[in-house]
Amino acid sequence: MNKTLTAYLCAMLTVALWAMSYIWADRLLALQIPVEFFVPVRMCMAGVLLWIINLATKQKMKIQRKDIIKYLLLSLCMPFIYFLAETYGLKFTESPTITSLIIATNPIFAMIVGMLIFKESFSKLNVIGVFIAIAGLWIVTYTGTQAGPMFWLGIGILFIAVISEVSQIAFTKALSDEYSPSVIVMYQFLFGSVFFLPMFFTKGIESFEPGLYLSWQVIYPILALALLCSATAYTSWAYAIGKLGVARTSVFLAVVPLVTAVLAFIFGEETLSWVQWAGLTVGLVGIYLTQLQQKKV
């Protein structure tokens, strides 16, 4: 019972941290800090922290030769493609709430992949939930009165992030029998930061200004993203999945957009019209319905 309660607390902690990640990233973008700078720094810091933790807890960290390609593909999907697409999507849409809502459609795409590729069956209610979620997403995005000129490009890029996140699930599952979740996440971030190096040493630091880049207003959100939203959140999420299962845990993803919207409103990051709040609610209901476990048809 205590382990189950801890798992639920970990899931809720992850949701809160991931919701805040969009706000912290948005603050860095507002300061004109390049994506190619703060994303690689975030990944490297998180990977090093997890390496220290895994070393201290004596986790099995040696990679078997047969798994090297799997780790490279895993890191290519996430964090490399995922975080680039997510952050650029956030930059172009200029909305932490819309960004988090689109990312939260991950379970829908995972369900579609399961139906088409793995021939999994789902209830009618699950399928109805897909259409409801899409309707809610359309309401939120279409009624955006303050959409910038790159808004729809940002929407498209965010769906690339979703696809890459769905893809990495298969690689994580293939590695989960041999390695602990913290070790898998550690190598994800360490290998991912290597993928980022060419971009970091070119566009990432070409406009480097010590007075700005080394200021607390930049260091603080990067530290928060690395230590809290990456290392802590992904580890607590892996723990929750291990105790509650994938299906029960994934329901919490539907809450991320709502938490982001509330936090963004509280911190004055953005405001939504009442129609967009209604669309957000519809989208969350749809995503929740896709995760309900009923008798399959």
pLDDT recorded at residue 223 = 95
Kindly give, in sequence order, each residue whose CB lies less than 8 Å from that of residue 100, ignoring residues fewer than 6 positions away: 18, 19, 22, 256, 257, 260, 261
* Out of 49-63, 113-127, 203-217, 232-246, least confident range: 113-127
pLDDT of residue 220: 95
Q: How far apart are CA 129 and CA 208, in angstroms?
A: 46
> Can you tell me the mean pLDDT for 88-98?
84
CA dihedral (272, 277, 280, 281) in degrees, to 10, reads 160
Is residue 87, in this structure, part of any structural domain at all? yes
> Are 195 and 80 a contacting pair, CB within 8 Å?
yes
Q: What is the pLDDT of residue 114?
A: 61
Q: Is 294 or 135 the better-scoring residue by pLDDT?
A: 135
pLDDT at residue 142, as a whole number: 61
pLDDT band of 28, cuts 50, 70, 90: very high
- Calculate helix-pair angle for 151-175, 106-116, nearest 10 degrees: 60
Which pLDDT score, from 0 to 100, does residue 251 have?
A: 64
Per the structure, the complete domain to which residue 71 belongs is given by 2-290
Question: With contact defined as beta carbons under 8 Å apart, do 280 and 257 qualify?
Answer: yes
At residue 238, the pLDDT reads 74
Our count of domains for the chain comes to 1
Q: What is the mean pLDDT of the chain?
A: 82
29-75 pLDDT, tens digit each: 999 999 889 999 999 999 999 999 999 988 989 999 899 999 999 99
- Report if residue 297 sits inside a domain: no
Q: At what angle do helices 35-56 and 2-30 cross, to 10 degrees?
A: 150
Distances in Å between the Cα of 282 and the Cα atoms of 16, 43, 225, 249 are 21, 34, 29, 20
pLDDT beyond 90 at 187: yes
| Mean pLDDT on 242-255 | 67
Q: Mean pLDDT throughout 275-297?
A: 70
pLDDT at 249: 67
The residue ranking higher by pLDDT, 16 or 283, is 16
Give domain status of residue 295, yes or no: no
Average pLDDT over residues 157-183: 82
Instruction: Give the whole-angstrom CA distance, residue 172 versus residue 181.
Output: 9
Predicted pLDDT at 120: 58
296 falls within a domain:
no
pTM comes to 0.74
Q: Is residue 10 part of a domain?
A: yes
Q: Would the pLDDT of 11 be above 90?
A: no
| pLDDT (tens digit per residue) in 110-167 | 666 666 665 656 677 777 876 787 677 677 666 554 556 788 899 899 999 888 877 7
Do residues 117 and 180 lie in contact, with contact meaning Cβ atoms separated by under 8 Å? no
pLDDT at 297: 44
Mean pLDDT of 242-250: 65
Question: Which DSSP helix (H) or strand (E) runs through 139?
Answer: helix 124-142
